[in-house]
Amino acid sequence: MKKRMVSVIVHNQNGILTRLMGLFTKHHYQIESLAAAVYTEAKEFSKISVVTEAEDDHKFLQLVKQIDKQIDVISVEDITDQYVIARELSSIKKVLI
């Protein structure tokens, strides 16, 4: 299993996040991390970053192409092999029971 990261720029329209996540579900990818935020300088657009695990490069490329096909997706990039700054948010979890 290889960790994969994609970065998607979307046009802020109703349901776009559902559409994207639906594609991950359809291709049986589990989402490890998801971050979505509006661009402060261009509120019409958002950036969505997704980390997932994928075995097959070819299949993952198909997913990327299908993301690109969505009407409200401006661009999508597989940034797995690029230099990226990865940040994690540490949070204190309430212990169950």
Partner 1 sequence: MESKQAMLNLESEELKLNGADVLIQALKQEGTEILFGYPGGAVLGIYDALYRSPIKHVLARHEQGAIHAAEGYARVSGKPGVVVATSGPGATNIVTGIADAMMDSLPLVIFTGQVASQVIGTDAFQEADVVGITTPITKHNYQVKRVEDFPRIVKEAFHIATTGRPGPVLVDIPKDLAAQHTAASLQAEINLPGYRPTASPNPLQIKRLLAALSESKKPLILGGAGVLHARASHELLTFSERYQIPVVHTLLGLGGFPAQHPLFLGMAGMHGCYTSNMAIYECDLLINIGARFDDRLTGNLDSFAPKAKIAHIDIDPSEIGKNVETHFPIAGDAKAVLQMMMSQKVKGPDSIQWLNHLEQYEKSHPYWYNDTHELLPPQHLIELVHKHTKGNAIVTTDVGQHQMWAAQYYSFSLPNRWVTSGGLGTMGFGFPAAIGAQLADPGATVVSLVGDGGFQMTLQELILLKEWGLPVKVIIVNNGSLGMVRQWQETFYDKRFSHSILSQQPDFLKLAESYGIKAYRVSTSEEAERIFPEVLADREPVLLDCRVNPAENVYPMVAPGKGLHEMIGVKP
Binding site for partner 1 (CB under 8 A): 10-11, 14-15, 18-19, 22, 26, 44, 58, 61-62, 65-66, 68-75
Closer to partner 1 by CB, 71 or 96: give it: 71
Closer to partner 1 by CB, 5 or 16: give it: 16
**Which residues does 34 contact at the CB level (< 8 Å), separation at least 6?**
21, 48, 49, 50, 51
Separation of alpha carbons 84 and 94, rounded Å: 31
Please give the radius of gyration of the chain, using alpha carbons only, rounded to the nearest integer: 14
**Considering the complex, what minimum distance in angstroms separates the CB of residue 30 from partner 1?**
18
**Considering the complex, what minimum distance in angstroms separates the CB of residue 51 from partner 1?**
22
**Which residues does 68 contact at the CB level (< 8 Å), separation at least 6?**
75, 76
**Considering the complex, what minimum distance in angstroms separates the CB of residue 91 from partner 1?**
29
Closer to partner 1 by CB, 71 or 89: give it: 71
